[in-house]
Each structure stands twice: as C-alpha cells, then as structure tokens.
Amino acid sequence: MKLRKAVFPAAGFGTRFLPVTKASPKEMLPLVDKPLIQYGVEEAVACGLREIILITGRGKSAIEDHFDYSLELDTILERRGHRDLLEEMRKISNMSICYTRQKEPLGLGHAILCARPLVHDEAFAVFLGDEVLDAPIPVMAQMLAVYERQGCSILAVQRVPREQVFRYGVIEGEPAGNGLYRVRDVVEKPQPEEAPSDLAIIGRYILTPPIFDILEQTPAGKNGEIQLTDAIRGLLRDQAVYALEFEGQRFDAGDKLGFLQANIVFALKRPDLGPELRQFLRTLRLG
Ligand code: G1P
C-alpha cells in the first residue's frame, strides 16, 4: 500500500534554542521567511504524503494558527491586490492537517505512540522538523523509492564526525549497494568508543505498524525518555530495517549554529535576496 501519512513530532521544549523558544515554538523559527515546520510539511506533500499528523503540546498553538485560514489577513491581502501572497497563504491553509497532543514530555518514542489513533494500522513517515534537508530529490522521496522495493522500515542516515555520535541514534549496518545498509543494530546516543559506526539517524523515518506495539512496551532509555531508536531495535528482532545514506545537505536547525547556516544557504539561493546577501557577506571580509 502507498504511504499516505506523515507524522511530525512537535511537542519538544526547544531547550537548545532558549531564550527565543521560551514562549514561541521552535518549529515556528523562520528559515528565511517560512517557519521550519513548513519545510518538512511541504517535503511530505511533495512526496505524495497528503495526511499530515502533528504531535503538539502546550504552548504550540502558533503552529495550528499558521496552518489555519486567517480571514482578516486574506481580506486585507485581497483588498490591497497582493495576489501572489494571497495565493501563498491559501496554499498553506489548504493543507490537510490533524493534530494530537503529547501531554507529557516522555520522549520521541512516546510522541510517535501518541499518533497511533490517527495512523492506525499502516506504514507511515516521520519527519523531525528541526532537520532541514536540502536535496536535489527530497530525502523522503529517496526513502520512498527504497520502501517501494523493500516494503520495510527505512531510516535516513548520514556520516557524522566520530566525536559527535553521542548526539544521534547510530546504526550498525551491512552495505547493500547504492548507499543502502541492512540494519543489524541501532544505539541511541552512544559514546564515540561504543558507537557501532559513524552513520547517524537523521530525522526522517519510514516505519511499519508493529512499531506501535513495541513502543507500548519500550521502557525509558537514554535521558530517561522513551526512545524511538530503542523501539526500532525491537523491530529488528522480527523485521528487516534498511538505512539509506541520502543525497543532500543537512542542517540541524534546532541548533543555533545549524540554524544560522541554513538561513544563509537558503537565503543565498533566493533570487530576491541572494545577490544582495552575497554582496553583503563579501563586505565582511571573513578571514
Ligand atoms: C533524535 C533521535 C536520534 C536522532 C536525532 C536526529 O534525537 O532520538 O536517534 O539521531 O533525533 O536529529 P534528538 O535530536 O531529539 O535528541
């Protein structure tokens, strides 16, 4: 069956980005002129995933407002003749999105479990919104092509410097050609000396429905949270899982440096901003 559903966990506190995230969701931080979450949602829609499920929490209502109609704004744009902007606003508010809440901050695995009543019994995609991926072919489309062949869970992975593996879920995999690995094990946030490889899981997953039963049974792991990586380890006992080393550049926009880098790269590509920004950057005479 074709994948239809995309789950976006968006209940986290954004502690890496305080103080701006004290009263505003990190998912609403602007990447040039669109909130981070919109990039992920557009990637999902571009890949044919039409049912978007957002897992939010307290203090996240700005996300719902963003994807809602704003009659006042539409009226003003129409009156002032801003047709392009109006069309863009309508595209955003026409997306079909369901919301559910993660009521306690019990981890990524628990957030995914909150989506169960909306996903039911079918395979689904997961997008971590602070991972911004700039790729010639959307990363989820690259993963869907593998899913169509393999019919099992697929993880997006990328090589990271060894000393940074403690920030990620890390796979042990057997190369299967064309950037694909048959996953043998996964470990959440290992110390560099314990890590099975330098292939880190990067914010995009395709998961099969048995993950939910496993998540129900998964105890708190790293940092006292229910970890999705631990549940994927459980999935490996019964099912094949593949990891795809995708083509594209990744920015960790939940991190201040990654966010600034993403903003510069994305703005440089914009015809309305790029040339002047490039000129300005030249004046900085960076060492
Ligand atoms: C989460 C996952 C981790 C993954 C990472 C990718 O960690 O638990 O396995 O590698 O996202 O960004 P977090 O960054 O939420 O601590």
How many whole angstroms from 279 Cα to the centroid of ligand 1? 36
36, 128, 202, best to mutate for ligand 1 pocket (most atoms within 8 Å of CB): 128
Residue 107, pLDDT score = 95
Residue nearest to atom 9 of ligand 1 (CA): 169
108 lines ligand 1 (CB under 6 A): yes
Residue 87, pLDDT score = 86
169 lines ligand 1 (CB under 6 A): yes
How many whole angstroms from 169 Cα to the centroid of ligand 1? 6
Helix, coil or strand: residue 28 = helix
**Phi, psi torsion values for 122, nearest 5 degrees:** -140, 160
Confidence at 165, pLDDT banded by 50, 70, 90:
very high
Question: Would 64 be classed as within a structural domain?
Answer: yes
For residue 164, pLDDT beyond 80: yes
Residue 84, pLDDT score = 87
Q: Mean pLDDT lowest for which of 41-55, 92-106, 112-126, 142-156?
A: 92-106
Question: Would 276 be classed as within a structural domain?
Answer: no
Q: How far apart are CA 30 and CA 46, in angstroms?
A: 20
pLDDT in tens, 227-246: 999 999 999 999 999 999 99
Question: Would 121 be classed as within a structural domain?
Answer: yes
Confidence at 1, pLDDT banded by 50, 70, 90:
confident
For residue 117, pLDDT beyond 80: yes
Question: The domain that contains 244 carries what CATH number?
Answer: 3.90.550.10
Q: Give the percent of the chain with pLDDT over 70.
A: 100
pLDDT in tens, 21-55: 898 999 999 999 999 999 999 999 999 999 999 99
9 lines ligand 1 (CB under 6 A): no
Question: Would 283 be classed as within a structural domain?
Answer: no
Residue 68, pLDDT score = 87
Using the atom order of ligand 1, give the atom closest to the CA of residue 188: 9
Q: How far apart are CA 287 and CA 251, in angstroms?
A: 23
Report whether the peptide linkage leading into residue 19 is cis, meaning its omega lies within 30 degrees of zero: yes
CB atoms within 10 A of CB 82: 13
Helices (H), ranges, the chain: 36-46, 61-66, 71-79, 83-93, 108-114, 116-119, 139-150, 210-217, 228-235, 256-268, 274-283
What is the residue range of 14's domain? 5-268
Tokens matching residue 118: 């909306």
Helix, coil or strand: residue 59 = coil
Average pLDDT value for residue range 155-180? 97
pLDDT in tens, 196-205: 999 999 999 9
Residues 6+ apart with CB under 8 A from 266: 31, 32, 132, 134
Number of domains in the chain: 1
Question: Would 244 be classed as within a structural domain?
Answer: yes
For residue 172, pLDDT beyond 80: yes
pLDDT in tens, 241-254: 999 999 999 999 99
Tokens matching residue 15: 């502690």
Work out the mean pLDDT of the chain and round it to a whole number.
94
Average pLDDT value for residue range 148-168? 97
67 lines ligand 1 (CB under 6 A): no
Using the atom order of ligand 1, give the atom closest to the CA of residue 228: 8
131 lines ligand 1 (CB under 6 A): yes
Question: Would 282 be classed as within a structural domain?
Answer: no
Which string of b and e fits 250-282 if b means at least 16 CB within 10 Å? bbbbbeeebbebbbeebbeeeeeeeeeeeeeee
Residue 93, pLDDT score = 80
pLDDT in tens, 126-138: 999 899 999 999 9
126 lines ligand 1 (CB under 6 A): no
Q: How far apart are CA 252 and CA 231, in angstroms?
A: 23
77 lines ligand 1 (CB under 6 A): no
Average pLDDT value for residue range 158-169? 97
Residue 13, pLDDT score = 85
202 lines ligand 1 (CB under 6 A): yes
158, 201, 223, best to mutate for ligand 1 pocket (most atoms within 8 Å of CB): 201
**Phi, psi torsion values for 33, nearest 5 degrees:** -130, 15
Residue nearest to atom 5 of ligand 1 (CA): 168
Using the atom order of ligand 1, give the atom closest to the CA of residue 223: 16
Residue 287, pLDDT score = 67
Q: Mean pLDDT lowest for which of 52-66, 76-90, 174-188?
A: 76-90
For residue 162, pLDDT beyond 90: yes
Q: How far apart are CA 101 and CA 110, in angstroms?
A: 11
For residue 58, pLDDT beyond 70: yes
CB–CB of 226/106 below 8 Å? yes
